[in-house]
Amino acid sequence: MIGSVILIGPMGSGKSSAARSLASLLGHRFSDTDRLVVQRAGQRVSEIFDREGEAAFRQREREALLELKGWSRHVIATGGGIVETPENVETLRSMGCVVWLRASLEVLWRRVATDMNRPLLQVLDPRAALAQTVAKREPLYSAAAHVSVDTSGLTAQQVVTSVHELVVSFFLASRPPAA
């Protein structure tokens, strides 16, 4: 299998941990757009939002994605807002198999409620902000994804198994026929 696998989905959908496990299962390398942004900027995500604003973060995120585009055999976790930049959708789809990790609002909220590292949730009513963001982005995730997994009732291990099966089928189906 030569293409990369890119995990998209909202904050709290478990992209990073699923990507790490999937990378070791496939023998691919793991990467993360947020991590690359932080490395390149020398600042944490929250600092970039505070000092430079969301638009600058999105620009840095776009640059990180373009950098990762040059690498194959990676499993890449992305930030939840990567689909907000319209050009990213085509870029993501050109890189390999795009997997959308879905989860109910209850599950997402349980996972992010106590996390102070998500700038978009540092507002008076973070649960409403999460709900609004998820609703706004659903069509964007849908347009970007080749396959999707509803992770709500699944263990971390089950998520990885489901994603693995879907990804293998995707790459088998997109292989050119033998001459």
- Residues lying near ligand S3P in the complex (CB under 6 A) are found at 11, 34, 45, 79-81, 118-120
Residue with Cβ nearer ligand S3P (139 or 165): 139
Smallest distance from ligand S3P to CB 59, Å: 13
Residue with Cβ nearer ligand S3P (3 or 119): 119
The conformation of residue 143, written as its DSSP 8-state character, comes to H
Residue with Cβ nearer ligand S3P (45 or 97): 45
**Cβ proximity of 97 and 170 under 8 Å:** yes
Residue with Cβ nearer ligand S3P (118 or 146): 118
Smallest distance from ligand S3P to CB 21, Å: 16
Give one DSSP letter per residue of 30-86, joined into a string.
EEEHHHHHHHHHTS-HHHHHHHH-HHHHHHHHHHHHHHHHT--SEEEE--TTGGGSH
Smallest distance from ligand S3P to CB 133, Å: 6
Residue with Cβ nearer ligand S3P (34 or 160): 34
Smallest distance from ligand S3P to CB 49, Å: 7
**Rounded Cα–Cα distance for residues 163 and 82 (Å):** 20
Smallest distance from ligand S3P to CB 45, Å: 5
127-157 exposure pattern, b = at least 16 Cβ within 10 A, e = fewer: eeebeebbeebeebbeebbbbbbebeebeee
Residue with Cβ nearer ligand S3P (11 or 107): 11
Closest by CA to 49, choosing from 149, 121, 106, 142, is 121
Smallest distance from ligand S3P to CB 118, Å: 5
**Rounded Cα–Cα distance for residues 108 and 10 (Å):** 8
Give the residue closest to ligand S3P by C-beta.
Answer: 79
